[in-house]
Amino acid sequence: MTVKTMLLGAIAIVVGADVAYAGVRSTGAAGPAFRDAAWAPEMIPLPTGSAAMGSTEAEAPLASNPKSAAMERPRHVVRLTGSLAMARYLVTIGDYERFIRATGHAVAPGCMVLRAGVWARDEQASFRSTDFPTNARSPVTCVDAGDADAYAAWLSQTTGHHYRLPREAELEYAIRAGTTTVRWWGDDTNALCTKLNGADRAFDSAYPGNREAYRNCSDGFVQTSPVGHFPANPWGLYDMLGNVEQWSSDCFTPTYDGAPQDISTAIPTGDCSQRPVRGGTFHSGPNLFRAAARGMLPAGMKASSVGFRVVRED
């Protein structure tokens, strides 16, 4: 599977909610935001409850190919029963720079970047210097899963609380935020440019002929946007869809067969050389802007459209 196939998708259509799962959701409100230190991420306690995980039969045509549709099945119920807080924002370049200064962690240069519509490795690119302008409030990219894990381990060591990358089920639970529709604001794509950063008219102008682009509106950004620029979902979490893909802590499994019901339980099997990614990116079309949409990448890959956020589970 190529990087383009993994990261990019096709144009979506309007899909109705799955009536069978309409009553399966968390209806509680998220808790008040908190920080463990002035420099630590702002965290949102997630409400306990249940949610459907995976795509409906009606969503299958939205997947870019039959293999990716199968990745989102079987649809099943997951539950959050314990304490879990998720970062309100994606980790930023400024956040990551603070970690680098404190630890001396070395992020090797070299990153997959989009040039003339084609993904290629740039040996000089790094999280400080991607293929487009960024600032301290931009989501950090060009870090692999190990680099993201190292940041979470540093937070744990310095705050005395257990931080880590989210499990894949935790990400979908938080993307849904108590809703049962394809996206947290509904099933249609008409509001995309006001809700998230994706492959819009501006992106299509910069990268002509991109088949994933939706050209009926502009969201104001060609590449990444500052974290928190677009509206939060119902639980106060920003950029859960769009901007950059998000690393998860799980090993990749091709389907949900045997997946645990407790969303905070690690998947016992899987290919640990691959990690699931969630949320879609600035170069994604509407098919990846779904709560159920999955992707996967080699755990050691760095790309200018892949970042992360953290969770705290104590």
Q: What is the pLDDT of residue 69?
A: 81
Q: What is the pLDDT of residue 57?
A: 82
Q: What is the pLDDT of residue 7?
A: 36
Strands 111-115 and 85-87: what pairing?
unpaired
Asked if residues 282 and 6 have their Cβ atoms less than 8 Å apart, the reply is: no
Stated pTM of the model: 0.91
The first and second tokens of residue 58, run together, are: 């009606």
Q: What is the pLDDT of residue 165?
A: 98
Q: Does position 306 have pLDDT exceeding 70, yes or no? A: yes
Conformation bin of residue 300: beta by default, left when phi > 0, alpha when psi is -120 to 50: alpha
Cβ neighbours for 57, distance < 8 A, ≥ 6 positions apart: none
Q: What is the pLDDT of residue 64?
A: 64
Q: Per the structure, how many domains does the chain have?
A: 1
30 secondary structure, DSSP code? P
Give the range among 97-111, 264-278, 299-313 with minimum mean pLDDT.
Answer: 264-278
CA distances to 7, 36, 164 from 159, rounded to whole Å, are: 34, 6, 13
Better pLDDT: 216 or 100: 100
| Residue 207 banded pLDDT, cuts 50, 70, 90 | confident
Share of the chain above pLDDT 90, in %: 75
| Residue 116 banded pLDDT, cuts 50, 70, 90 | confident
Q: Please compute the mean of the pLDDT values over residues 29-51 and round it to a whole number.
A: 96
| Residue 12 banded pLDDT, cuts 50, 70, 90 | very low
What tens digit of pLDDT does each residue of 258-291 get? 999 999 888 878 999 999 999 999 999 998 999 9
Look at residue 5 and give its three-state secondary structure: helix
What tens digit of pLDDT does each residue of 50-59 get? 999 999 888 8
Q: What is the pLDDT of residue 3?
A: 39
Q: What is the pLDDT of residue 189?
A: 86
Alpha-carbon span 162 to 244, nearest angstrom: 24
Q: What is the pLDDT of residue 270?
A: 93
Biggest CA pair distance of the chain: 51
Q: Does position 187 have pLDDT exceeding 70, yes or no? A: yes
Q: Please compute the mean of the pLDDT values over residues 205-232 and round it to a whole number.
A: 90
| Residue 23 banded pLDDT, cuts 50, 70, 90 | low
Domain range holding 278?
4-13+19-312
Look at residue 193 and give its three-state secondary structure: helix
Q: Does position 90 have pLDDT exceeding 70, yes or no? A: yes
Q: Does position 156 have pLDDT exceeding 60, yes or no? A: yes
Q: Please compute the mean of the pLDDT values over residues 161-172 and round it to a whole number.
A: 98
Q: What is the pLDDT of residue 247?
A: 98
The first and second tokens of residue 57, run together, are: 């039969």
- Selection from 137, 262, 280 nearest residue 199 by Cα: 280
Q: What is the pLDDT of residue 115?
A: 86
The CATH number given to whatever domain includes residue 154 is 3.90.1580.10
**Partners of 276 in the β-ladder:** 296
Cβ neighbours for 212, distance < 8 A, ≥ 6 positions apart: 8, 9, 10, 11, 199, 283, 284, 285, 287
